[in-house]
Structure 1
């Protein structure tokens, strides 16, 4: 079977909407080809709306959920027209995460899929996380199904986005979990120095590691727990941002980069990972990558830009294809839910 699907991904770092058109084919195993992909930067207005969505009233949040759905639909429609695309099977939208509190049985990704359908006329799959959370799962990470079926040649896959998360085969099952915050903190610090992000880790390289802060970060309770586990902005607001406030910004960048590298290397070494595929915006942070390399014997593989930038959008497109075929697209071994399931609301 073959399917042409568009995947939409908006990360916590708010650097834009990733949109990816890919063809998927299943013979002996699933294969994929990315045909068109781009990142559509948010206007200042949209970036502010999404960044501040956590503070809205219920009424305002419902309005944004609808507005953002129409915005996503318009972006997809323009993408289709620009590239003169035809025969698209579906659109799969991750939405933008506002709240993620699986222990309380809820997670919220805004961007109403029904609005996307109204704008595009295509079947839309959205809200991939809520079902898993209701089933006692973390609702994250979801990409391991794609890692298992599309990137099985690598021992492990590491995504360096707002948060770092890893997925790997362990004792015949796919496990996955969040490791530590990355760009959600590094970007926040870089913005204090009037940069949108720390390019190549050059700012962090200028700072000095604050050993007391590093020890405090490494001692956080989250790192002492085994998987499955996931992180959200609320955790950073409570445990990370407050402890960075009285530290010189360059030193905070240096220390947090070292902290992220240590936590990532700890996991790579714990599982004796032979080779690891690294994607997400953090793959371009050469200072961070070199720190990870120096702390582990694993072969670190940085793929072509298309995979670095669009792997998550690609996998959400793939999850949409699986959902339309009622095939498993969420692994309980990764999320901690009661069993594997096929998740996503179909509009």
Structure 2
């Protein structure tokens, strides 16, 4: 058996655009197949750190390019990195063994701005600092190489989606919809033998971001728990139609969005309940519109990300999509750990020089690997 087929114990770390905290998960994988899953956890950000991340996002949006000279953003990056370190230590305690069991960490950092039209995407967090804190080698900066090869830099989770689906294949044509701050979809088609024959991925539109911002501005809490507020409001079709008039929805994939490409101001003047109902329905309409970019209609939609916890959103998706709509837990997946697992998977792929992105998922010229390795003195304990 070649070294490339060896299984590694990898930690994946993800801080999503919802800015609610760090998801961390352990995955045992050779970068092509998943042997088994280890412990996972979510560590919510403190109110202070979440506020600082929001300010960093706002600051980055007003800068003309990525820079290492902004002292405030650098400070937030260090604080985010240290918070991720704490998540790794918590995972180690759950593992019930020393850190020598862990071979590699996949570190996404936190996206403060994403501008593929300018040829850059910016995730803050210091992979070298994380490696130094934990004593474990780290793969970070997994998007830049894709952009250097003509890609959008996102989404890069689809390869993990396809690997998971192949392990537990119930349908041939499948859509996996991730509703985070921004929503993205992976459409896949398998042949009779279970081999992947086609894959398409792109951002469908805003996910939880607008609704979270609306709720935070009006209630002080960045969540519509179970969609209860939206369920009692009336959606305003003229606002939804105005939002859907954005040329983004007609653009052919691959395509991606920044969290701030849409904002809640379109619902300004509405009641709390009507604003929540309108913004929730906008998410649904953008997902419905995404179907026009699929090569064929999926047999089933599997929903992951925080949006799957929103009962009202899930009910409306089931009403408007012409296929079965289920949370990813129906496949036995860990919905809250899924993106963290993906970055563990991608870290191992990066070590082995395997592609992290494909032309039909990001628009890159060819399948490309990526990531920057920050080594420690620890050797990979390959199994």
The normalised TM-score by structure 2 is 0.84
- Structure 2: distance between partners of 1:101 and 1:339: 21
- Structure 2: distance between partners of 1:226 and 1:252: 29
- Structure 2: distance between partners of 1:78 and 1:34: 16
Counterpart position of 1:122: 136
- Structure 2: distance between partners of 1:216 and 1:31: 43
Counterpart position of 1:232: 258
2:106 to 92, 100, 105: 92
Q: Which moved more, 1:165-174 or 1:324-333?
A: 165-174
1:64 to 76, 88, 97: 76
Counterpart position of 1:190: 215
Distance 1:55 1:200, change over 3 A: closer
- Structure 2: distance between partners of 1:124 and 1:194: 36
SS of equivalent to 1:13:
coil
2:50 to 47, 66, 87: 47
Residues 55-108 of structure 1 deviation map (CA, whole Å, 9 limit, x = unaligned): 447232223323422332233134313543341111101110011111111111
Distance 1:30 1:214, change over 3 A: same
Report deviation, 1:256.
1.4
Report deviation, 1:45.
1.5
Q: Which moved more, 1:52-61 or 1:152-161?
A: 52-61
- Structure 2 residue 180 is the aligned partner of structure 1 residue 166: no
- Structure 2: distance between partners of 1:303 and 1:338: 31
Gaps in structure 1 of 5+ consecutive residues = none
Counterpart position of 1:316: 343
Distance 1:329 1:77, change over 3 A: same
SS of equivalent to 2:122:
strand
2:267 to 244, 269, 272: 244
Report if the CA contact (8 A) 1:107-1:129 is conserved. yes
- Structure 1: distance between partners of 2:106 and 2:96: 19
Query: Where in structure 2 are the equivalents of 1:198-217 lying within 5 Å?
Result: 198-217=224-243
- Structure 2: distance between partners of 1:327 and 1:85: 29
Counterpart position of 2:327: 302
Counterpart position of 2:62: none
Report deviation, 1:281.
0.7
- Structure 2: distance between partners of 1:65 and 1:85: 29
Residues 275-306 of structure 1 deviation map (CA, whole Å, 9 limit, x = unaligned): 12111111111111111111122111213386
Report deviation, 1:25.
5.1
Aligned residue pair count: 342
Moved over 6 A (4+): none
Report deviation, 1:32.
4.1
Gaps in structure 2 of 5+ consecutive residues = 1-5, 60-68, 191-196, 375-383
The normalised TM-score by structure 1 is 0.92
- Structure 2: distance between partners of 1:217 and 1:241: 10
Residues 198-224 of structure 1 deviation map (CA, whole Å, 9 limit, x = unaligned): 112110011111121111111111111
SS of equivalent to 2:111:
strand
Report if the CA contact (8 A) 2:182-2:259 is conserved. no
